[in-house]
Structure 1
Amino acid sequence: MAAAKSGQHPLLLYIAAGLFASFILINRLNKYLARKRFMKENGCRPCPYHVNKDPVLGLDVLKSNLANSKNARMLGCTVDRFDNHFGKPVRTFHSRMMTMPVIVTCEPENVKTLLSLKFKDYSFGARKKAFDPLLGSGIFNADGDRWANSRHMLRPNFAREQVADIGAIERHLKLMMKHIPKDGSTIDLQDLFFKLTIDTSTEFLFNHSTHSLRMMDQGAEDNEDVIFAKNFTFAQADILTKLRLGFLNRLRNNTKGDEAIRICHEYVDKFVDDAIAWREARDAEKAAGGAKNEERYVFIHELAKQTNDKKRIREELMNVLLAGRDTTASLLSNMFFEISKRPEIYAKLREEIAQFQGRAPNYEELRNLKYLKYCINESLRLHPVVPGNSRFAVRDTVLPLGGGPDGQSPMLVPEGTLVSYIPYKMHRRKDYYGQDADEYRPERWETLRPGWEYLPFNGGPRICLGQQYALTEASYVTARLVQQFAKMESRDVDGIWRESLTLTVCSLNGTKVSLTPA
């Protein structure tokens, strides 16, 4: 009797396993049929262009990307894939990042759909894991309600009266000018620009500047402000390494990256503690009926008024600091790399800015400098400071272009697919910008009125909150620099721009120039 009962157990297991397998099979069949209907309803056709030779894990592309990163060729290789890999130019192709399918596109209509029309069909996906250790759930690394709440919290801090306050920029700019040789010897402006923008950004955010320009005179390498700036740069570069390695990153011993993040967090936490203490003292004073008039605007104090969550404040500050420093410094570095090779452009800038007769222009006057605006636009076109970005499909969705042999039909984006869009390539398309699209020519902006084919500050609901702050700082620094120096000459050895790619992109060889005082 016992033997009979024991013989029933394997049969029950077989039945259970069969039911489970049937469930999986039926579920997959239903999903397949639903996806077929979805494709038919939306007129989707498959994209025939697949860059991988290894269709399972895409190890060939991973190996190529790592090699290109080491040789400063990631952006150039990406452009080459669009233009030459398939024997003809294509605008959208398939790739694979280990187990994740990837669609890569430089079609403006696809970018518009991705960032605006079907905004809710996408999230950040695995990218969030790479950004989390440094940035947490701040505005640039949050989805859904958390992102909406962050944007609502930060938007007032970029109002016109804050953006138009250029006094702090002038103070730090004067320090920068002291480090520019007046005897025609070579200086790397890129190094100075990155020091300038972290000094201005930290003062704007923390009410305390890193004063890295001042530390150049003192040679204080062990100063905590200098240590923070160096580790912040390293931690950002390490994020890109994590993204490229994907799940293989967990096999890496990354003690240096972890230590850099710890140093950054401890540095910012001190200012957060001070801001919370300021708020508590302010609230106590109000409760006692002795509140004074509001003091001058301080970004971190405004955040402390809205929340006492110290981690939340730190995360938002780290996110805004990343954008405030790197985008502006990269823009200035890339722009002067190009202008220094074209004395006629520098002369036209001098001519436009001569109207101020050496005095500092105000916010409204900066906005009316057309040729300066053309120079900045052209730099953001040729060398967009965020040259590539991506979104992760959270449901089956559609891109309007990329399907069929001619790429003009809609294409399916299955749930779980990463869609990568490449402004660096899109900004160089000759059908939008002319046969000289690879050249720096500000005059093209006299007639250009681009749409989604020009994407210097992202687009849609997540368009950059701080773009006016960045453009104001870049415009002001350019105007004041051009006022002070009659000529600028390139001292670049290679003669061509080469990429230094982290989360933003600047010149690998810096911006080496000589300047002749006016």
Structure 2
Amino acid sequence: MNILTIHPENIKAILATNFKDYSLGLRYKQFLPLLGDGIFTLSGSGWKHSRAMLRPQFSREQVSQLESLNDHVSTLLTIFKEKSQTGQYFDAQKLFHNLTLDTATEFLFGESCNSLNNESRDMNPTAGSSAPVSAADFADSFNYCLTVLALRSQAGYFYWLFSGRKFISGVKTCKAFVDYFVRRALRTADEKKEEGRYIFIEELTKETRDATIIRDQSFNILLAGRDTTASLLSYITYYLARDKRVLNKLREVVLEEFGTEIDNLTFESLKRCTYLNHVINEVLRLNPIVPLNFRSAVRDTILPVGGGPDESQPVFVEKGTQIVYSVYALHRNPKYWGEDAEEFRPERWSEGKIHNWDFLPFNGGPRICLGQQFALTETSYTVVRVLQTFKDINLAPDQLNSKLLNNSSLTSSVANGVRAIFTPA
């Protein structure tokens, strides 16, 4: 039996107040081939241990270091310029995925795969490896595997039907890519490291020398670090290109607050840029990166509302019931967002209304996204640099004149990419 809900009080109960009444259900078995034992698949003590190990990686001190981020974003902007000069529309979303893969591998593993510079670089060069594995190979395999995982999660107990040779091969490619960083970390595990810099995979080697455990934990975080931020940047680019009023207003704010150089770009100054934050929030509202989620009741419990003639009474939830909550539908509900809930209007965030459990782009409760500030900082920084460098963004005519289509696997992205041209300032 399934229960579908979009009521904020019910979602609050599932994720926070009655957190112990729910588990991830079949997710562990459904996601096991690709993600193994990690923060997204584990519950109980295993999840708590993973979260405790990861928390220092996303401390304010770590997230606020923008130097390495600037190098990768500068490379991205150069590519945008070069491709735009040809007069041909190109897929910015693919390049945003390269950017976030580069920043995530450096942030988590201490070494970037530099896919923006060379996505064909062999990341599995050890003697005896079965075949070269590049960032491009990883991206193709990873995208396919995530689509299969989404099907496995939707199939419930019949998840095992969605496998096949291509999926198994894709999983092997993805693991080979991450294995490069695992071997590197294990090889240097006993060497003295740079003081004051917390690198996730190096910390893992202090806990265990089991390569499989290290790979699984690392892979879970790489999923979050790459896909979510790249999709958010892609959606922002799409909306700005379609709405010149917001684009011009945001660019004016960016130039006024930051100028045309990077000197004024800090973690603190980005957080203070109100209209930038409103634009990001509005994009996350209309297109939450994880649009649908699930929990399974581990004991008999209740949802606070939804029962009775006026749906204001509690609803009994029997042990084993799966609860499905749609963040996408919640974020577009006129009850919480007004009659213009379907419209892209960043100004709604300056109108004084408080949004708590009706706005969940990063989930909520004990399992709230640890990397939230990292994702928002990287997104803010990249958007500011783009608007400092370019005065206009134009979508390909067919995409401009058609409705936005979403591609949903475990995360959401713009279907068919964001085909655009950027006009230099």
1:264: how far off? 1.6
Say whether 1:504 aligns with 2:411.
yes
Q: Equivalents in 2 of 1:231, 1:224: separation in Å?
A: 11
The residue identity in structure 2 corresponding to 1:334 is: Y
Say whether 1:242 aligns with 2:143.
no
Q: Identical aligned pairs, as a percentage? A: 43
Q: Is the 8 A contact 2:122 2:133 kept in 1?
A: no
Give the SS at the match of 1:391. Answer: strand
Q: Aligned residue for 1:449?
A: 354
Distance 1:389 1:486, change over 3 A: same
- From 74, 92, 111, give the equivalent of 1:174: 74
1:141: how far off? 1.1
Distance 1:203 1:247, change over 3 A: same
Give the SS at the match of 1:140. Answer: coil
The residue identity in structure 1 corresponding to 2:50 is: S
Q: Aligned residue for 1:488?
A: 393
The residue identity in structure 2 corresponding to 1:354 is: L
Say whether 1:120 aligns with 2:25.
no
- From 208, 211, 214, give the equivalent of 2:111: 208
Q: Is the 8 A contact 2:54 2:200 kept in 1?
A: no
- From 141, 144, 164, give the equivalent of 1:254: 164
Q: Equivalents in 2 of 1:253, 1:158: separation in Å?
A: 34
Distance 1:267 1:516, change over 3 A: closer
Q: Equivalents in 1 of 2:397, 2:414: separation in Å?
A: 11
Q: Equivalents in 2 of 1:111, 1:246: separation in Å?
A: 21
Give the SS at the match of 1:279. Answer: coil
Q: Aligned residue for 2:102?
A: 199
Q: Is the 8 A contact 2:120 2:135 kept in 1?
A: no
Q: Equivalents in 1 of 2:122, 2:260: separation in Å?
A: 32
- From 217, 220, 224, give the equivalent of 2:134: 224
Deviations 1:143-164 (A, max 9, x none): 1111111111110111111111
Say whether 1:330 aligns with 2:237.
no
Say whether 1:280 aligns with 2:190.
yes
- From 22, 43, 46, give the equivalent of 1:143: 43
1:280: how far off? 2.7
The residue identity in structure 1 corresponding to 2:244 is: P
The residue identity in structure 1 corresponding to 2:160 is: R
Q: Equivalents in 2 of 1:265, 1:443: separation in Å?
A: 44
Q: Equivalents in 2 of 1:473, 1:234: separation in Å?
A: 25
Q: Aligned residue for 1:189?
A: 92
Give the SS at the match of 1:209. Answer: coil
Distance 1:364 1:253, change over 3 A: closer
Q: Equivalents in 1 of 2:319, 2:197: separation in Å?
A: 49
Distance 1:468 1:403, change over 3 A: same
Q: Equivalents in 1 of 2:343, 2:404: separation in Å?
A: 11
Q: Is the 8 A contact 1:189 1:510 kept in 2?
A: yes
Give the SS at the match of 2:314. Answer: strand
The residue identity in structure 1 corresponding to 2:202 is: H
Deviations 1:174-231 (A, max 9, x none): 2212222344542221111111111111121222322221126999996523212222
Instruction: Output the aligned Cα RMSD.
Output: 2.1
The residue identity in structure 2 corresponding to 1:484 is: T
1:157-168 matches, within 5 Å, as 157-168=57-68
Q: Equivalents in 2 of 1:255, 1:431: separation in Å?
A: 46
Give the SS at the match of 1:256. Answer: helix
Instruction: Give aligned pairs, total.
Output: 409
Deviations 1:54-113 (A, max 9, x none): xxxxxxxxxxxxxxxxxxxxxxxxxxxxxxxxxxxxxxxxxxxxxxx1000000000000
Q: Equivalents in 1 of 2:365, 2:151: separation in Å?
A: 28
Give the SS at the match of 1:401. Answer: strand
Q: Is the 8 A contact 1:205 1:299 kept in 2?
A: yes
1:325: how far off? 0.7
Q: Is the 8 A contact 2:290 2:410 kept in 1?
A: yes
Distance 1:223 1:316, change over 3 A: closer
Q: Equivalents in 1 of 2:196, 2:318: separation in Å?
A: 53
1:491: how far off? 2.0
Distance 1:328 1:492, change over 3 A: farther
Q: Is the 8 A contact 1:395 1:414 kept in 2?
A: yes
Q: Aligned residue for 2:421?
A: 514
Say whether 1:358 aligns with 2:255.
no
Gap runs ≥5 in structure 2: 124-130
Q: Aligned residue for 1:105?
A: 5
Q: Is the 8 A contact 2:121 2:134 kept in 1?
A: no
Q: Is the 8 A contact 1:492 1:511 kept in 2?
A: no
Structure 2 length as normaliser, TM-score?
A: 0.91
Q: Aligned residue for 1:9?
A: none
Q: Equivalents in 1 of 2:120, 2:319: separation in Å?
A: 55
Distance 1:253 1:509, change over 3 A: closer
Give the SS at the match of 1:308. Answer: coil
Q: Aligned residue for 1:434?
A: 338
1:375: how far off? 0.4
- Larger C-alpha radius of gyration, 1 or 2? 1
1:493: how far off? 1.3
Q: Aligned residue for 1:59?
A: none
